[in-house]
Structure 1
């Protein structure tokens, strides 16, 4: 049986460290309904995926809560680590404190589409980037049921490498405007498609820059 707990409980005293590389976005994505995951992290491929999580106890409601994976945390007792506020949202009205007293609870979960109506995929230049020697990028607004498993950034035929979480990086990137293409797979499959975001990174990029692509995943 899968389980969930929350940050600050005796089962998970640590706090999010942002393993997906989202930074402040990770605190506000999906209307702050976010989660850290353990087994589902998959070396960062699980970042940005959405799940419907329902707890299994008399205090739990039937709807559960929809969360997006923005972090990685490990505990022997749980697969999902939620904020206390999101954890309490799984409770029936008036039973929130009773559920929090459990500190962990049995759950059922399923992968569901992420929805960002009218929003294209965004590319953020990670704060650790250092022009012009080191470029790290993060993809935001990853809609639908897709996992992004490969990324290429190029002016010439140069392929980057995966650093951690949802961050893709390269040393000595090509000069000039850069085009990005990424491979989006359907959940649980290796079959997918390459999607191209042309000239998405300007020639004189800087850390913290966020650019909207012409690509929408839904």
Structure 2
């Protein structure tokens, strides 16, 4: 009993110590101006998982996957960017077709850039973790720093971050593949390239002349649904899909025609694809084939365009994108499907330069990509063919910038001095562009800075300013605010880069 009382005493003392520590730190260290609220919110939808890979190092896993997609996993729009899922992802087959973003930062070979994969198979042995992705070799390699994919594959089981995302197969409509063994009394079908939720919770079938009767099908295996009837089915057949998460429905009217055959594929043609904000643009590329476009770009990022976290995945923008410099730092997803060399999967680029002439001014929206970005739009091994294709038509949409693990940096201009402060703001998460920048010298208040025709902000003070400097940033559209406390020190030097501890 004495021993038990002593243990309780120690427990109470430890609890008091922890509470005291928390209260003291809350009272003395909490600074609401410097709290990176938006950065916390921006990462809140990412969760931890483990990842391995299977199949060939640059392959697609297997075409015998448990979802039944067969060799479609190697072709556009899946383009080998697929994964087998552990039990919590495969969901006994009902997880087939779901899309996830995955990224890694736990290894030096990790790029930290997110890639999108589709669940197309089951990993039966992936039971040691609550969430496990057994990626194709291609998808696993896509998480690596360029040129370090083999090092990443050698790392074994990786800790990664993941989140569920909407599937977007631009230019594709849902395809229904009738299973072998189907007949007039037994009908089984697999649906693929389903936009939105990706996961299907219910499939229903309607026969010709039965205008109000939808027959619920039962889940068979993988992405396959089946229906048995006592009288012959009357084609054409319509199919209605209900998404698992949202409960929304998509109807493919008369998609299975009269005279249908087992093993045949039938494509819907009735708007089953949600464009999800995608629009059309033109694309060219400039600089070296595997390069970063130019390190002298009009946004002022300099050599940073070739280094992490941009990794040369950048673009010059035509007038509507560059927007007189206000578009510097904005991020876009781009996808090409109109050329045989196109992969059909999206990439993300950052606007770091201006494209002032040629096709960039003859179209409403034009991206002049770095050579590396242009190559990233291609199927494996076909980057050269895509770069030789001339002006491409692509789909694009504005995307949130996500420089995981990177904080906002300030590169002080070479001509800055105590009377004139100017710097480039780099690596802003979220919207990427800024509505305002304010600077606070030591002993003074915040002063608004002027934006130049780039990502450079300047202030002619008229009197000498002393550091350290606090800098307050307001994002372009949402008007979110972060404050980089004392980010430029008292002994600052022109030409130096100073990294904050905040981001949007």
Under TM normalisation by the shorter chain, which class is it?
Answer: 0.7 to 0.9
Match of 1:181 among 229, 236, 240: 240
Instruction: Give the aligned length.
Output: 209
Q: Which has the larger radius of gyration?
A: 2
User: In 1, Cα distance between the equivalents of 2:62 and 2:197?
Assistant: 27
2:170 corresponding residue in structure 1: 117
TM-aligned CA deviation for residue 176 of structure 1: 2.6
Change (3 A) 1:176 1:86: closer
- 1:15-30, aligned counterparts within 5 Å? 17-28=64-75, 29-30=77-78
Match of 2:143 among 65, 87, 90: 90
**Residue 265 (structure 2) pairs with residue 216 (structure 1):** no
TM-aligned CA deviation for residue 68 of structure 1: 0.9
TM-score (norm 1): 0.85
Change (3 A) 1:60 1:169: same
**Residue 122 (structure 2) pairs with residue 72 (structure 1):** yes
TM-aligned CA deviation for residue 109 of structure 1: 0.5
TM-aligned CA deviation for residue 31 of structure 1: 1.6
TM-score (norm 2): 0.39
TM-aligned CA deviation for residue 148 of structure 1: 1.5
2:414 corresponding residue in structure 1: none
2:224 corresponding residue in structure 1: 167
2:331 corresponding residue in structure 1: none
- Match of 1:24, SS state, is helix
Q: Compare relative contact order (CA 8 Å, sep 6+) and give the higher one, 1 or 2.
A: 1
1:131 corresponding residue in structure 2: 183
2:85 corresponding residue in structure 1: 37
User: Does the 8 A contact of 2:189 with 2:226 survive in 1?
Assistant: yes
Change (3 A) 1:215 1:150: farther
- Match of 1:41, SS state, is helix
- Match of 1:57, SS state, is coil
TM-aligned CA deviation for residue 161 of structure 1: 1.1
Write out per-residue CA displacement over residues 64-120 of structure 1, whole angstroms, 9 at most, x where no aligned residue. Answer: 321111111122356101122321221112322221111210000111222211322
Structure 2: which 5+ residue stretches go unaligned? Answer: 1-47, 275-504
Two-structure CA RMSD over aligned residues (Å): 2.3
TM-aligned CA deviation for residue 216 of structure 1: 1.6
2:156 corresponding residue in structure 1: 103
TM-aligned CA deviation for residue 141 of structure 1: 1.2
User: In 1, Cα distance between the equivalents of 2:193 and 2:182?
Assistant: 24
User: In 2, Cα distance between the equivalents of 1:7 and 1:194?
Assistant: 34
User: Does the 8 A contact of 1:20 with 1:44 survive in 2?
Assistant: yes
User: Does the 8 A contact of 1:44 with 1:164 survive in 2?
Assistant: yes
Change (3 A) 1:15 1:217: closer
Structure number with higher strand proportion: 1
User: In 2, Cα distance between the equivalents of 1:119 and 1:16?
Assistant: 21
User: Does the 8 A contact of 1:131 with 1:205 survive in 2?
Assistant: no
When structure 1 is superposed on structure 2, of 167-176 and 199-208 the one drifting more is: 167-176
Moved >6 Å (runs of 4+): none
- Match of 2:70, SS state, is coil
User: In 1, Cα distance between the equivalents of 2:271 and 2:191?
Assistant: 11
